[in-house]
A and B are shown apart, each in its own frame.
Chain A
């Protein structure tokens, strides 16, 4: 007894207290999540809601909330999986519940939180993490616990190349999407495009997403018959790109293959404008081109007119679909009035597929879910995006996820220019060459 009292007098007290506290949390948290019959379907979402990737994370959060809304409420005319009727029919109308976790854009936190979702919250499915880098970190956890994991907007090809059994991706990967850009450029002359495009410069940032695109473009550009004249990688988070612009100007490429985030894209635009640099074609892949806030801002300056890039969907055609309009209406409830961007569309499509899979499995057992996922054969009319459908190959990549090439027109909206059949349907004449900075300033701005 005496020794206990003596111990309490020492400086080790805080350690005891802390250990006790931890044990208490453990037992409390354990008690609250007792296993129950399926009253609700739990989908765990680990997202970068704060920190460097918060701009992405928030769109995925809003997408998740949209899907939760669609599944749990009755939208009789909405032709997406689980749109009509409340909750999951397979579980007697049990609702979908998202269990959201913020990983602060940190890998170690993401990995730990996934384990929390699996072992403490006992979620039935994990969706996340939204960025390819952190998704690679959480993949082994899902794999070793045997819990299904999906990430639809993650585009790094490596994610499905490692032979994981429990990872699914409904969206296209970067290879598919960059390939569509070069397929378009290669065949453009035969379809009324210019015949004088010969050289390409690659200009990307330096993280996983950018470098995936860099490598793929490096590989595909010569195969499409273009000569690489400059390959520049910049540090992500650049405060100036004036010297890079100088180098690009010296290399004088016909086509600039450009992958940068919105902040750096704005820096590039200012520096290019100052230097009077404008190649004949600016082709992008994701980054700013997928960012709704950047696109909106371009309407005030004409800065985006003539940029072309890969998209997972023909947004001008998709937005005519009634289901797209309805889903966008729901999305705007959560996004404080922002329209769905292409990332949100990929994520919503992916999460609706998850809900559909769980419903078809009629069980939340991992084995049943995996079986239902493997049997997926979703038709295009059930989607708000123009994939040719959802069907997985052996690596759990959706083979029907296709790329589309779009261009920003003078009205600030994206128009489909490839594949040729869709382009015909869209009936839009591509801008060529990319307008000079003076033209951009003199033309009327879509919103002022």
Chain B
């Protein structure tokens, strides 16, 4: 029983990190319905930013988060205005095409600048806390993961309020639902898309900054997280920010619990298997609006 509870708790802690990675995608893909294969590369840039600022300036990722998020917001906007806005004229498949190009470009630009070495960030507040646990009735809660999870949760709530409670958020939703109608009421769809890309890039970069405390940093790191992020956004349902959060926690728990009893090689397969099962019962994801 303790074993199972521990696995569930481990899963929830990982789920909070996954949520952080998925939330940027929930905006670009889930809300605005634009495919972004380079999502993991935005995250990787955030990780590299954290590593670079920490190893050269000694800046802790918890602080470096802010400038990195701002820079990445700018990058997201540039990607939209210079590339995706033009690509949007065509079929939605063209977006796959364009963002695969972006993926190759970003990943290998980092290879060119920093080589493909593995890098490890160790001189940080969270990394120094590694191994510190909170004991709760015999269940271990890792403190650094807990802090990271809380940061993620806070960002989530802010984003939820932004999307659901503010005018900007409502404009974003209106744009994603009906571009023409949005224009009629005075919303500039392009500005909204640019903002969505900026937000998406900034959020996933923040995720990268936090993950850099726990994972090694290298140019090809993006894919393993983003594959899960795609499953999470679809599982949560399109257009639902809270759905993404719940799906992320669910994915963390599924991974963690199945592996305690079944073959670990099938860890991601169990996640995607549960996506298929849930999808057959609820074709719109758990909380999908469309």
Pairing of A with B: yes
In the complex, are the beta carbons of B260 and A243 less than 8 A apart?
A: yes
Which residues of B are found within 8 Å of A55, using beta-carbon distances?
116-118, 218
**B225 contacts partner chain A, Cβ-Cβ < 8 Å:** yes
Which residues of B are found within 8 Å of A232, using beta-carbon distances?
264
A 232-253 binary contact with B (CB < 8 Å = 1; else 0): 1111011110111011001000
The A contact surface, by secondary structure, is helix
Interface residues of A, count at CB 8 A: 40
Known: A54-B111, A233-B263. A239 touches B223 (CB 8 A): no
In the complex, are the beta carbons of A246 and B123 less than 8 A apart?
A: no
Of A57, A235, A262, the residue contacting B118 (CB under 8 A) is A262
User: What total count of A-B pairs have CB within 8 Å?
Assistant: 114
The residue on B at minimum CB distance from A294 is: B118
Within 8 A of A (CB), among B241-267: 252, 255-260, 263-267
- Flag the segment in A269-277, A310-318, A400-408 that touches B: A269-277
Within 8 A of B (CB), among A1-58: 50-52, 54-55, 57-58
**B224 contacts partner chain A, Cβ-Cβ < 8 Å:** yes
Known: A246-B6, A293-B119. A52 touches B220 (CB 8 A): yes
In the complex, are the beta carbons of A235 and B220 less than 8 A apart?
A: no
Interchain CA distance A57-B17 in the complex, whole Å = 31
Of A246, A250, A266, A294, the residue contacting B215 (CB under 8 A) is A266
Which residues of A are found within 8 Å of B255, using beta-carbon distances?
240, 243
Within 8 A of A (CB), among B122-146: 122-123, 130-131, 133, 140, 142, 145
Interchain CA distance A262-B111 in the complex, whole Å = 17
The residue on A at minimum CB distance from B115 is: A58
**A187 contacts partner chain B, Cβ-Cβ < 8 Å:** no
Which residues of A are found within 8 Å of B258, using beta-carbon distances?
243
**B219 contacts partner chain A, Cβ-Cβ < 8 Å:** yes
Within 8 A of B (CB), among A193-248: 206, 232-235, 237-240, 242-244, 246-247
Of A54, A270, A294, the residue contacting B220 (CB under 8 A) is A54
**B93 contacts partner chain A, Cβ-Cβ < 8 Å:** no
Known: A239-B224, A263-B216, A338-B117. A273 touches B130 (CB 8 A): yes
Interchain CA distance A301-B121 in the complex, whole Å = 11
Counting chain B CB atoms within 10 Å of each CB, the highest count among A206, A239, A338 belongs to: A239
Interchain CA distance A420-B224 in the complex, whole Å = 42
In the complex, are the beta carbons of B265 and A270 less than 8 A apart?
A: no
In the complex, are the beta carbons of B225 and A291 less than 8 A apart?
A: no
Within 8 A of B (CB), among A317-341: 336, 338
Interchain CA distance A429-B125 in the complex, whole Å = 34
Interchain CA distance A309-B124 in the complex, whole Å = 29
B 198-214 binary contact with A (CB < 8 Å = 1; else 0): 00000000000000001
Interface residues of B, count at CB 8 A: 48
Of A266, A291, A336, the residue contacting B115 (CB under 8 A) is A336
**A108 contacts partner chain B, Cβ-Cβ < 8 Å:** no
Interchain CA distance A139-B231 in the complex, whole Å = 38
**B3 contacts partner chain A, Cβ-Cβ < 8 Å:** yes
In the complex, are the beta carbons of B122 and A274 less than 8 A apart?
A: no
**B164 contacts partner chain A, Cβ-Cβ < 8 Å:** no
Of B111, B130, B219, the residue contacting A274 (CB under 8 A) is B130
Known: A275-B140, A300-B123, A437-B131. A237 touches B223 (CB 8 A): yes
**B195 contacts partner chain A, Cβ-Cβ < 8 Å:** no
In the complex, are the beta carbons of B225 and A274 less than 8 A apart?
A: no
**B163 contacts partner chain A, Cβ-Cβ < 8 Å:** no
Interchain CA distance A338-B259 in the complex, whole Å = 38
Interchain CA distance A213-B101 in the complex, whole Å = 36
Interchain CA distance A50-B118 in the complex, whole Å = 14
Of A54, A235, A238, A267, the residue contacting B219 (CB under 8 A) is A54
Which residues of B are found within 8 Å of A336, using beta-carbon distances?
115
Interchain CA distance A151-B250 in the complex, whole Å = 45
In the complex, are the beta carbons of A246 and B3 less than 8 A apart?
A: yes
**A297 contacts partner chain B, Cβ-Cβ < 8 Å:** yes
Known: A242-B10, A243-B10. A235 touches B256 (CB 8 A): no
Interchain CA distance A244-B256 in the complex, whole Å = 9
Q: How close is B222's CB to chain A, nearest CB, in angstroms?
A: 11
Which residues of A are found within 8 Å of B223, using beta-carbon distances?
237
In the complex, are the beta carbons of B118 and A293 less than 8 A apart?
A: yes
The residue on A at minimum CB distance from B259 is: A243
**A381 contacts partner chain B, Cβ-Cβ < 8 Å:** no
**B120 contacts partner chain A, Cβ-Cβ < 8 Å:** yes
Interchain CA distance A352-B80 in the complex, whole Å = 50
**B228 contacts partner chain A, Cβ-Cβ < 8 Å:** yes
Which residues of B are found within 8 Å of A300, using beta-carbon distances?
120, 122-123
Which residues of B are found within 8 Å of A441, using beta-carbon distances?
131
**B221 contacts partner chain A, Cβ-Cβ < 8 Å:** yes
Counting chain B CB atoms within 10 Å of each CB, the highest count among A250, A270, A297, A336 belongs to: A270
A–B Cβ pairs within 8 angstroms, 21 of them: A54-B116, A55-B116, A58-B117, A239-B215, A239-B225, A239-B228, A242-B256, A243-B10, A243-B259, A246-B6, A247-B259, A262-B118, A263-B118, A273-B130, A273-B131, A274-B140, A274-B145, A293-B118, A293-B119, A437-B131, A441-B131
Given contacts A239-B225, A243-B259, A293-B118, 8 further A-B contacts (CB under 8 A): A51-B220, A232-B264, A235-B265, A238-B224, A263-B118, A267-B214, A273-B130, A273-B131
